[in-house]
Amino acid sequence: MKSILNACGAAALAVVAAAVVVAQNRDGEWPMYSGSYRAERFSPLKEITPSNVSRLRPVWVYQPPGTGSLETTPVVVNGMMYVTAGPTMVQALDLRSGKSIWEWTRPIAPSVLNLGFPRVNRGVAVLDNTIYVGTLDGYLVALDARAGIERWSAHVGENPLGHSITAAPLVVDNKVIVGVSGGEAGIRGFLDAYDAKSGKQQWRFYTVPSPGEPGSESWPGDSWVHGGGATWLTGAYDPQLKLLYWGTGNPGPDWNGDSRKGDNLYTSSLVAIDVDTGKARWHFQFTPHDVHDWDANQIPVLVDAEINGRPRQVVVQANRNAFFYVLDRRTGEYLLGAPYAKQTWAKGLDEKGRPILVPDMDPSEKGTLVYPSLQGSTNWASPSYSPLTGYLYVPVREMGSIYFKTPAEYKPGTSYTGGSEKRLDEESWGAVRAIDVRTGKKVWDFELPSPPWAGVLSTAGGLVFGGSNEGNFYALDASTGKPLWQFQTGGAIRSGPMSFAVGGRQHVAVAGGHALFVFALE
C-alpha cells in the first residue's frame, strides 16, 4: 500500500486513502474492469517510466478461439488473468506464460439478439474464488475461479426483447451489480444486484420510473414502457457513502422524441444508487429529452480535488454530449461544466448544468448536421484519471453527423430508434485529451488519425497508455502528452489497457484486433 499512498500524495484527503485500501490494486493486481471502485483506470505501479519506456517489449500474446475484435479489459487477481471474448467466453491465463488454464464458453445461437452493438464481452468481476460474467443472451453467470466450472446463473433480462449483457459486472460487498444493453430495442432499463453466493436477486433499480413514481411526470402516456435508459457499462462505487454511480443510456426511441415529450428521466443521466437498498439517492441528467443517442454510460470517475477553491469529493464525467461535468458525489450538486470537444447543439450550460439549447438541432427527415456524431465526443472507451497530475485523460472523437428522423414503431425484439445518421467520416479525427478536472480546461492533446475506440490507462510511473483504430499501442508522458513509445498490434484497438505486476515486474496489457498483448521492460 505504501506506493499507493505515496502516489496519492500528502495533500489528498483521508477518505481517499480509505477508499483506496478497500478498492485499489493489491500487490500489483488489477481486481476489476476499471482497476478500482473509483474507476480511475490508474495503476500505482511505477517501474515503467518516461525514461525507460523505450525498452518496453511484448512478452507474450494470447489469441482466443473465434474471430472479431476483443473489447476486454483483463482482470488480474490471485496470480491469474481472466479475459473475455465475444460472444461470451472466459479464459483464465497464467500470468507468466500466457497459457490457458481453463476456458468457459457459453453457447450463443446466431438468433441471440444484439441490437445496436457488436457481439462482444468487456470483462469479468471477481470475488474470492468466483468469477462473474454477463452473457450476450442476458444472464449473469458465476464460475469457479480455479476451474471455470459454473456455480449458478441468474436470468437478468429477456434477450428476445433485446436485453443483453456485454459489460463487466461490479462486485460490492457480497453483491454482484450488473447492467443491461438494449437501448435501441425499446427496453425499460434497469440495474440489478445479485447475491454473490446464491445468485438470488437483491434489488432492481429501474432507470425509467413507472407512473406515480418520482420522475414519471417526464414521460407522457405509456411512453415510459419502452423508455430505454440501458445500463450497458460498468459504474463506480464509493464505499464511504455506500453509493454506486451508474450512467444510463438514451431514451427510446433514440432519434424521434415525438412520443416522449418531456425530460425522460432518468435517461442520459448519472444515478447515485444506495448499494444496500437499490434506491436512487440523487440523479443528474446531462441531456434532458435526448434525441441524438447520447447515452451517459461513459465511465464516471471518483476524484478528490479542489474545485472552485474548495476541497471536494466529486464524480467527473466526460459525457458523450461533448461536455465535461464535475458533480458533488454526495449530493449530485453541479459544480463545474465545460465543453471539451466540438459541439454545435448547446450554447452552454446554465447554473444547474442544464444545457441551453441551440434551436433546430433535432434530427429531421431531410437530415440535420450536428456535432458531435451519434457515437459522441467520447463513448465506452475508458478515460483515466491520474491523482498525480489531476488530469482526466479522455479518448476524444471529433466528428459530426447528419441526423435523420423516421417514424418509430415498437415491435418486440426489433430496433426502436426512429432515425439514423450519416457520419462525416473523412474530416473526422481523434485525440487523447488531458483535461484538468479542477478547471475543466484542456491541457494537451495527442492527436489520432481517426476517432478512437481505445481506452486510456495512466500510471504512477508518469505515463499514459492509449490505442488507435490503426493498431498503435503507445505511451505518452502524462504531464505533456509527448509520445515516448509505440507498438503496432496489427488490429484496431477497441479495449482498455491495464497494468499488473508478476515476479516483481510491471506489465502492461491491451487487446488489439483479436489478440491480447502483454508487455514488460526488456
Partner 1 sequence: MKWLSLILVSLFAATAAAQPAVARLSTAGASDLAAGQRIFDSQCAWCHGAGGTGGTGPDLRRSSLRHAATDDALVNIVRGGIPGTEMPGFAIALTERMAWQTAAYVKSIGRTKPVALPGNAQRGANVYDSSGCGSCHTVNGVGGISGPELTTIGALRGAPYLRESIVRPAAAHPTGYLVVRTTTKSGEEIRGVRVNEDVFWIHVRDAGGNVHALEKSQLAKVERQLDASLMPSYESRLAASDLDDLVAYLTTLRGAQ
Residues classed as catalytic: 293
Compose the 216-255 pattern: x for residues touching partner 1 by CB under 8 A, - for all others: ----------------------------------------
366 is a site residue for partner 1 (CB under 8 A): yes
Q: Which is nearer to partner 1, 49 or 406 (CB)?
A: 406
Report the distance separating Cα 297 and Cα 311, nearest Å: 26
Q: Which three cell numbers stand for residue 29?
A: 493486481
Count interface residues toward partner 1 (CB under 8 A). 30
> Smallest distance from the beta carbon of 145 to partner 1, in angstroms?
37
Strand partners, 104: 90
Q: Which is nearer to partner 1, 312 or 320 (CB)?
A: 320
Which residues, 6 or more positions from 194, have their beta carbon under 8 angstroms from its beta carbon? 140, 154, 175, 176, 178, 200, 201, 202
Which amino acid is it at 244? L
Q: Which is nearer to partner 1, 320 or 329 (CB)?
A: 320
Q: Which is nearer to partner 1, 14 or 109 (CB)?
A: 109
Compose the 472-501 pattern: x for residues touching partner 1 by CB under 8 A, - for all others: x-x--------x--x-x-------------
Q: Whose CA is closest to 231, among 194, 262, 188?
A: 188
Please say whether the beta carbons of 440 and 464 come within 8 A: no
258 is a site residue for partner 1 (CB under 8 A): no
> Smallest distance from the beta carbon of 194 to partner 1, in angstroms?
31
> Smallest distance from the beta carbon of 489 to partner 1, in angstroms?
10
Q: Which is nearer to partner 1, 84 or 489 (CB)?
A: 489
CA 223 from chain centre, in angstroms, equals 27
> Smallest distance from the beta carbon of 409 to partner 1, in angstroms?
5
Q: Which is nearer to partner 1, 203 or 446 (CB)?
A: 446
448 is a site residue for partner 1 (CB under 8 A): yes
Q: How far is CA 473 from CA 57, 456, 469, 480, in A?
A: 11, 10, 10, 18
Query: In this chain, which of 47, 436, 445, 470 binds partner 1, going by CB under 8 A?
Result: 470
Whats the size of the chain, residue-wise?
522
The residues in 402-431 that bind partner 1, with binding defined as CB under 8 A, are 404, 406-409, 411, 414-415, 417, 419-420, 422, 426-427
Residues 313-342, buried b or exposed e (16+ Cβ, 10 A)?
bbbbbbbbbbbbbbbbbbebebbbbbbbbe
Burial class of residue 51 (count of CB atoms within 10 Å of its CB; 0-12, 13-18, 19+)? exposed
Q: Which is nearer to partner 1, 85 or 492 (CB)?
A: 492
> Smallest distance from the beta carbon of 248 to partner 1, in angstroms?
20
360 is a site residue for partner 1 (CB under 8 A): no
> Smallest distance from the beta carbon of 415 to partner 1, in angstroms?
5
Which amino acid is it at 225? V
| Rounded CA Rg of the chain | 21
> Smallest distance from the beta carbon of 490 to partner 1, in angstroms?
11
Burial class of residue 232 (count of CB atoms within 10 Å of its CB; 0-12, 13-18, 19+)? buried
Q: How far is CA 61 from CA 93, 102, 124, 509, in A?
A: 11, 17, 20, 9
> Smallest distance from the beta carbon of 366 to partner 1, in angstroms?
7
Which residues, 6 or more positions from 279, have their beta carbon under 8 angstroms from its beta carbon? 205, 273
Q: Which is nearer to partner 1, 464 or 501 (CB)?
A: 464
The residues in 113-142 that bind partner 1, with binding defined as CB under 8 A, are 115-116
395 is a site residue for partner 1 (CB under 8 A): no
Please say whether the beta carbons of 506 and 76 come within 8 A: no
> Near partner 1 by CB under 8 A, which window of 70-78, 310-318, 331-339, 359-367?
359-367
Backbone angles phi, psi at 408, to 5 degrees: -115, 140
Q: Which residues bind partner 1 (CB under 8 A)?
A: 115-116, 184, 365-367, 404, 406-409, 411, 414-415, 417, 419-420, 422, 426-427, 448-449, 468, 470-472, 474, 483, 486, 488
